[in-house]
Chains A and B, each alone.
Chain A
């Protein structure tokens, strides 16, 4: 049994039980895991700042160290986000900071209130749509290199959604890479993932369990179209739920328009309109108060998950409804959603893709963020014999968020 105690950002204590009961105690301070034996502990000579009673159940005490006394990495996590001390900038921060590098336009990665933003060109219209026109924003291209206080930075395609990027940082000869959200499979809309070799690899782990093995995108597009065709034949509308930015465009690009017409929820159309600014066009007519009911008969309607159980949805009757998400891999999640079908269409890496990325980057140290970070980091250590630890972030591990 392992139990872990979270006592504030950067501090973790966990206890591993052996056959005799309590065996090893580990302390993890930020991303350092330290083994404690017989109550005597040394963490790089750092000073104990606090002793806490771990658990009444185990009657164990543990010591907490000040993170700042530990050897410094280029990147670390503090209360505002993923921080680069040398460059004094943040990546996808969750509290207002001076300089924010943004991997992509989903709201858990791109938040309001930063003094300045740096993101890929194709994320610019999304930022304008969601955070307003009055931000100080700088767009960069994939592969374009720039420097902040000696840290060399470049953005590389992450394959997650349009404009999504992995961010590569080089300092004193060491290469750091933060993936943001990413996938290796090609969706035909976003710029495909580019392999970037690095020393330190910071990866998400949304689907970091071996039960998540997604079918090929192609087979999912086929089953979506077959289902739409079946519904259309019966004169029933087909509603597909997917996140307005990313999933919706992914669906629209592969819908077989010979089956029928395509209609959009306003939130999806807003994103599509914004993306025209950077040269993308997608099929679909926005549903408005004037849309005639008989015009949508047998059509495909793309809406965000938040449209579920709304009066808006009821106006689309008769319909069958499906959720497009990696979570649909599990029966329980599918049934809980209360939809007619679940399509395992994801914009994240599945288990195999995560593993391939870890191997191919040839990183010597892996840091795991949002998702199943405990399991995936332990797996990476055991399987590949490279260092792996956890970056506790506030990114959403739910794949789709509410609009």
Chain B
């Protein structure tokens, strides 16, 4: 694995994409064939599940290093990463270790761990600890904790693999779809097998829209664009091939077993049909809130009650394959009319719905709709060029998403915790509160949205304004006010404040506002109430 260690170091040590791609290419050209797929899996974030309990890992590290558990915990707060903490705490090797383990063997060991008794696990893990050091030890521990991430995007990996194989990037991207397992594949099966035959379960790479960052007027004639409401569900692909049905999520998880509603499509739709759309709970002729979807996804057993409470449909907006033919090159309007025809002809019932194409007389009217999108059960508009092909990945130009403005509220910083990774040992994870009858009630956490410079300033402020420490968490004097944005809000019995926010983030630091002028719990409840008004 020494070549993979060098690859990791090269990627980790540079911010230049050209250097990263060159390093991956060099690795692919020299690494053992049996290792390559494992490296690719790791690079793409397709890592094995955590095979052991981190509590055990802490105990073993404590015993091996003679560092007490509490001190490991304190160190972890500072380092911000358990795998790195353990790597640094383990006693240094007496002499340089030279044993080289193949990546494949390492993965075998990680997977084998899952079915071992704790004593066996311990023996295997500490055995590796005594054989590895430096970056190799760190990588091994990252695999044990199940969160090894390498600083490359999927796009870059695809680029390097395409260069290595002498194939096009869209083709490689397609081959690398789905959560393929490096244990079940080899280079040939992954890149040579016939897609329709051997890989009939594989989805097409999703085409993703860019956020509209200009005046829509600049897009030109409205007639050239197909405009649809942007729904807030889960992007998915329904595939019927060889008499089988597959439902994939945009996160490339196979959801067929969880989305049981789609099962009848297997016999309804002809083989060689692939539809792209939004999977969303739908009741009484209306889409339901995303929070309903979330609870539905979380269920292990889908009981009758759950099915009745959150019945899923797919709102279809694109057709990627028809009669076994890849039609992604067709212009959108042609794909769409074919899709319309299919939904009309085949008895898809209420399971598949056609996404409505909206017509507005002007961009101004579209803008009005966008602003009120929540009242229309949407989170904005999708604007797609009628002649656009179905491209691969996120591309500018033909597809735009035009989201409604997020809801915002001013909260007071009350707790801070240090972050992880690049933000380790820096107070960057904040809890915010709003006023409720003269008291501050915490209602959300938020992590992102501030510049590095602001983070350093606030970190320093937190250190000087700490009231109390609770392990890694500090409570601070309630003085700083931040404007927070979020995409959704719901009543929640699980949260002390009674509300749960969706995708909260920091918009800006309101240095102009004292804590007393922050928003109140009532303001939050009003936001929920105004949303429900529209639903009634």
Contacts and interface: CB of A to CB of B under 8 A. Distances in A.
Contacts of B452: 336
Interface in B56-73: 65, 67-68, 70-72
A332 B81 contact: yes
A329 B88 contact: yes
Interface centre among A2, A210, A340, A341 (most CB of B within 10 A): A210
Contacts of B85: 211
Interface in B411-469: 420-426, 452, 466-469
Nearest to B455: A336
B78 interface: yes
Contacts of B220: none
B468 A3 contact: yes
Interface in B66-115: 67-68, 70-72, 74-75, 78-81, 84-85, 88-89, 92
B13 interface: yes
A55 interface: yes
Contact of A209 (B78, B420, B467): B78
A209 B80 CA distance: 13
Interface string A185-211: 000000000000000000000000111
Given A335-B421, A382-B68, A330 B79 contact: yes
Interface in A251-283: none
A379 B468 contact: no
A210 B65 contact: yes
B89 A211 contact: yes
Contacts of A210: 65, 67, 71-72, 75, 88-89
A209 B422 contact: no
Nearest to B76: A211
A213 B65 CA distance: 12
B468 A332 contact: no
Contact of A330 (B14, B65, B84): B84
B71 A375 contact: yes
B75 A209 contact: yes
Interface residues of B, number: 35
State which size class the interface on A falls in: 20 to 34
B471 interface: yes
A333 B13 contact: no
A332 B65 contact: no
A332 B89 contact: no
A340 B469 CA distance: 35
Contact of B75 (A211, A331, A378): A211
B15 to A, nearest CB: 8
A213 B92 contact: yes
A55 B467 CA distance: 9
A39 interface: no
B261 to A, nearest CB: 45
A332 B425 CA distance: 8
A332 B83 CA distance: 13
Nearest to A13: B468
A5 interface: yes
A5 B475 CA distance: 10
Given A210-B71, A382-B68, A331 B84 contact: yes
A49 interface: no
Nearest to B420: A332
Interface string A25-55: 0000000000000000000000000000001
Nearest to B421: A332
A146 to B, nearest CB: 38
Contacts of B471: 1-3
B79 A332 contact: yes
Interface string B26-68: 0000000000000000000000000000000000000001011
A340 B13 contact: yes
A5 B467 contact: yes
Interface centre among B67, B71, B81, B466 (most CB of A within 10 A): B71
A336 B71 contact: no
A210 B86 CA distance: 10
A4 interface: yes
Interface in A164-222: 209-213
B425 A333 contact: yes
Nearest to B471: A1
Given A209-B71, A210-B71, A340-B13, A335 B422 contact: yes
Given A211-B79, A331-B81, A3 B71 contact: no
Given A3-B469, A210-B89, A332-B425, A341 B80 contact: no
Nearest to A337: B422
B494 to A, nearest CB: 19
A253 to B, nearest CB: 25
A376 B298 CA distance: 43
Contacts of A330: 78-79, 84, 88, 424-425
B422 A336 contact: yes
Given A55-B468, A330-B424, A335-B421, A379 B71 contact: yes
A210 B449 CA distance: 33
A4 B470 CA distance: 8
Nearest to A383: B68
Nearest to B473: A3
A54 B72 CA distance: 28
B468 A4 contact: yes
B422 A332 contact: yes
B470 A1 contact: yes
Nearest to A327: B425
B424 A333 contact: yes
Contact of A213 (B70, B71, B88, B469): B88
B132 to A, nearest CB: 16
A210 B73 CA distance: 11
A265 B226 CA distance: 60
A38 B279 CA distance: 59
Contacts of B71: 209-210, 375, 379
Nearest to B470: A3
B13 A211 contact: no
Nearest to A375: B74
Contacts of A5: 467-468
Nearest to A209: B75
Interface in A316-364: 329-333, 335-336, 340-341
A209 B466 CA distance: 22
Contacts of A212: 88
A336 B468 contact: no
Contact of A332 (B80, B467, B470): B80
A335 B471 CA distance: 25
Interface string B1-41: 00000000000111000000000000000000000000000
Contacts of A4: 468-469
Contacts of A3: 468-471
A331 B148 CA distance: 14
Interface centre among B78, B80, B85, B471 (most CB of A within 10 A): B78
A333 B79 CA distance: 9
B157 to A, nearest CB: 20
Contacts of A6: 466
Given A332-B81, A335-B422, A211 B468 contact: no
A382 B92 CA distance: 23
Counting from the closest, the 3 A-B pairs by CB-CB distance are A332-B424, A211-B88, A335-B422
Given A211-B79, A213-B88, A336-B452, 14 more contacts: A3-B468, A4-B469, A5-B467, A55-B468, A209-B71, A209-B78, A210-B88, A330-B78, A330-B88, A331-B424, A332-B81, A336-B423, A340-B14, A379-B71
12 contacts: A55-B468, A210-B67, A211-B75, A211-B85, A211-B88, A211-B89, A213-B88, A213-B92, A330-B425, A332-B79, A372-B74, A372-B78
